[in-house]
Amino acid sequence: MKIEKIFQKIKRYTDSSIQTRMIKNFGLIMAVTIAVLEIMIISVIYNYYYGGVEQILKDRVTLTAEFLNKSSNYSSSYDKARTLLGMSMSSFENKFLVQFIDSDKKLIIDSNGFSDNIEVNTPDVEAAFQKKIFLYRGVSSSTGEKILAASRPLIRYNTTDGVIRFVVSLEKVDTEIKNFVIASIVLCMIIVGFFLFTSSLISTSIVEPIKKLNSTAKEFAKGNFNASAEKTYNDEIGQLVDTINFMANEIKNTEKLKVEFVSSISHELRTPLTSIKGWSETLQMSEGYMKDSDVATGLNIISAEAERLSIMVEELLDFSRFQSNSMKVIKKPVNIKDVIFQVYRQFSNKRANISLKCDLKGEDTIINADENRLKQIYINLVTNSIKFTKEGGEIELIAIGYEDKIVTVVKDNGIGIKAENLPHITEKFYKGTSTMPGNGLGLSIVDELVKLQDGVMTIESEYEVGTKITIVFPAFKEEVLENDEILEDINGEL
């Protein structure tokens, strides 16, 4: 039973193996191709050998008959036969059997000197008496060999006086053909064997990397993203290996960022919750015993920490919406200068030790955007700048209107971003080497919101010098508004 199970497993493996299927399919194609070529070659060789013998036989019997027919001073076919046999017959020895047949279809004599007086009624003899030439293939009654015969009439006084017949054995021809067929079959078998061997090597070179890739993929499925697929060749499979390794690294980095995010968000949530819980307990336990100023301080802290929690929760909700592609924006014409000025007013008194400036240039700064999301963008950017700018630092908000675009800039002279962190700064959960509080979603959400408003954001930064974030929006075209109004009127009438 165990042996049967082993054979079943082997059969299942060989039936489903790519390598086995490749060898089977290629072997079948090669075998069929070689078989067809073999048949064609054998046919050509057969026709070549037999055709050559037939042509030589026809030429010899024709020339000999013409020679005898031109000699008219023979009294009979028998005399012609005796004369011809008396002449130099060395060229016919061991090649052809020459027979002379009289008008009664009786054998007079042959080149071996025999005269059996037997009747010869083969088709070639019948055709010769009708002054035609016919090639006859058959078996010799005396030797049992395969023969080929050709006959021509002997003419005397315009009358068929007899027939000269050339006979050749086909045994040597068949032996030559047989030897060639055997040699060609052996050669074909060698070619097929060599082809199967090379096919096995080629298929192994294809299948082995796939097997290794499959093994690595299984490791990935187990959660081991430290595994790496080995690249053997720089072909399509090699490109697939690169892609899978890249995917594994991306997943590993994402998992790492998620772990860091969970740790960071847990810390971020715990800090305000601790403050809220601590101050609320203090206020409850000290009711009637605390000064009004201390109560006010505690309530302010609770309010600030609650707002901080609210912002973090909102960022998480926005992140969830982006992940599920359910983030919606309601666009309408918005003066971006008004939005930036509102943000400037909101933060101007929050950090007295940091200078916040606002520079709004140009009159036409209308864009087609969601005003609330637009405000969220600049609140987030200014919050980041305040977080990473030291006391005495400076933050500047700039808006410049051009004919076809609106350029806005938020720049500071804070601690800046290290060069190695800059390419990843808008990735989800990415915090780089910063130890400042945050969940790593801020700039990622800002980047997504900018794209939803048809804008483009670029970040320039130099470590210990400052950061400059430029956002470019397409300017709102007045005719777009007119078209929208026309459509609204039409829809209203309908």
Q: What pLDDT is recorded for position 90?
A: 47
C-alpha dihedral (379, 384, 389, 393), degrees to nearest 10:
-20
DSSP state of 361: E
Q: What pLDDT is recorded for position 396?
A: 93
Phi and psi torsions of 119, nearest 5°:
-85, 135
Q: What pLDDT is recorded for position 410?
A: 94
Determine if the pTM surpasses 0.75.
Answer: no
- Averages of pLDDT over runs of 10 residues in the chain (494 residues) are 52 60 78 86 86 86 79 57 54 69 79 72 84 82 82 80 85 86 87 82 81 84 81 81 86 75 64 72 64 71 72 66 68 90 83 83 82 87 87 90 89 89 76 53 81 91 91 78 43 42
- CATH topology classification for 236-323: Helix Hairpins (1.10.287)
Q: What pLDDT is recorded for position 96?
A: 77
Answer CATH for 332-481 from 1.25.50.10, 3.30.565.10, 1.10.10.10, 3.40.50.12160: 3.30.565.10
Helices 442-452, 371-387: axis angle to 10 degrees equals 150
Q: Where are the domains of the chain?
A: 72-175, 236-323, 332-481
Q: What pLDDT is recorded for position 407?
A: 93
List, in sequence order, every beta strand (DSSP E) within 18-124.
97-102, 107-110
Q: What pLDDT is recorded for position 72?
A: 53
- CATH topology classification for 72-175: Beta-Lactamase (3.30.450)
Nearest-angstrom CA–CA distance, 494 and 484: 15
Cβ burial 394-405 (10 Å sphere, 16+ → b, else e):
ebbbbbbbeeee
Q: What pLDDT is recorded for position 481?
A: 42
Q: What pLDDT is recorded for position 7?
A: 47
The DSSP line for 181-206 is HHHHHHHHHHHHHHHHHHHHHHHHHH
